[in-house]
Amino acid sequence: MLDLKWIRSHVEEVQRAADRKHIDLSVKEVLALDDRRLDLLAEVEELRRRRNEASKRIEAWRRSGEREAAEQAQAEVAASKAKLGEAEVALREAEGELQALLLRVPNPVSPDTPDGESDADNVELRRVGEPPAFDFPYRDHVALGELHGMLDLARGVKTSGSRHYYLTGTGALLHRAVQQLAVDLLLRKDYVLMDVPLIVRGEALTGTGFFPLGRDQVYRLDEEDQWLVGTSEVSLVSYFANEVLDLARPIRLAAASSCFRSEIGSAGRDVHGLYRVHQFAKVEQVVLCEADPAVSDAMLSEITAHAEELLRLLELPYRVVAVCAGDMSQKTYKQYDIETWMPSRGTYGETHSASNLHDFQARRSRIRYRTPEGKTAYAHTLNNTMVATPRILIPLLEVHQAADGSVRIPPALRPYLNGMERIAPPIPGTTSED
């Protein structure tokens, strides 16, 4: 969360960030509550001081035999203790209310973040590659998946409910292949690969900025304070919670993991096929670096470039957009999304997201580093979706299809598929189960 002193000196900036991100918050209310907390704290400290001084006088009177004075003072102390108890209760309540409000205060956005209300207002920065121009009636990824026996949505729904699926045969192999390609690319760039917990405590989600505002997107295990992560970013950042790091060089971490999201509020949106599902896999990259805006901005460009390199290896047309304030989460300072061309949607669909959070997560998670001057400072953190699957299978299948229903495999993926160059069309008169 943001430092209260900083908030006091940047009231308009913080309020504007809340308004632009559609967060219901009054910064003036936050500061008024902090004023009340400070008044109550002063009152409690004064009452404690008087109680301690009175106790010392009582003890001195008892030693000198002045029992009457001691007893009278004792009665006064008893009355002041009751008042102190009331003040302490009021202080705890004010502190709790203030903490709840502070957890809603958003990270300000970068000066070059565009204004806007939703993803429709994101600003295109560049396009790479040309969308295919098919001269035949093309199939969407569901039709291709069913044609080749790679995808079974009906049984996914039968087993687990809406927005669940089975990937079978070549579908499952493609799902794993794109992940391993992404991992290998990051390993060549000196990332440390980690296998991380997928079940975390609420404090990890609060520390990384997913709680309290994103609570409805996370699956909870029974009544325990245990939650399924929607991204390994939570586990990777929380790995360093409450620690002081050496950030002479940025720390680069990666994880390949399953992810889970409830998608509350998305009813009726992107319900066809694999675009928006409850369970998926991601290769995530997380970077921790010194609290220098120039350094973290360079890191943002770097992690975005990694995802772009992957898309070029997959030979998929894409565009990079600057995310507007209204499409940002509470925790984000600056964000780029990468959208890949999906023929069945007739447009680009989001497949990657890269964010610079400055010290927002580090403050909440208490991740610090020692500066060259020997002082401690909160780190900057960044994250990027290197690849998310099965969503990436939508453009991968659709863009590389041929008129006969076959699908070309980009050369970069072939080593992970035993040299397979294409997914051949089924033999006429057979089914995908033959």
Catalytic residue among 57, 104, 276, 408: 276
Catalytic residue among 37, 139, 261, 363: 261
Residue spans of alpha helices (H) in 267-389: 293-313, 360-365
Paired residues of 369 in beta bridges: 245, 377
How many Cβ atoms are within 10 Å of 135's Cβ, its own excluded? 7
Q: How far apart are CA 187 and CA 197, in angstroms?
A: 20
Picking from 64, 91, 45, 88, the residue whose alpha carbon sits closest to that of residue 73 is 64
Catalytic residue among 339, 391, 398, 406: 391
The residues, ordered by sequence, that sit 6+ positions from 137 with a Cβ below 8 Å of its Cβ are none
The residues, ordered by sequence, that sit 6+ positions from 64 with a Cβ below 8 Å of its Cβ are none
CA angle 174, 178, 181 (to 5 degrees): 135
**167-185 as b/e: b if 16+ CB within 10 A:** bbebbebbbebbbebbbeb
Picking from 392, 398, 285, 263, the residue whose alpha carbon sits closest to that of residue 339 is 392
Name the one residue in this structure whose structure tokens are 């040299």: 419
Residue 176 is a catalytic residue: no
User: Are 392 and 281 contacting, i.e. CB atoms less than 8 angstroms apart?
Assistant: no
Residues counted in the chain: 434
Residue 276 is a catalytic residue: yes
Catalytic residue among 296, 329, 353, 406: 353
How many Cβ atoms are within 10 Å of 222's Cβ, its own excluded? 5
Picking from 91, 96, 97, 98, the residue whose alpha carbon sits closest to that of residue 44 is 91
Q: Which two tokens stand for residue 343?
A: 């023929």
Residue 261 is a catalytic residue: yes
User: Are 227 and 200 contacting, i.e. CB atoms less than 8 angstroms apart?
Assistant: yes
Residues belonging to the active site: 261, 276, 350, 353, 391
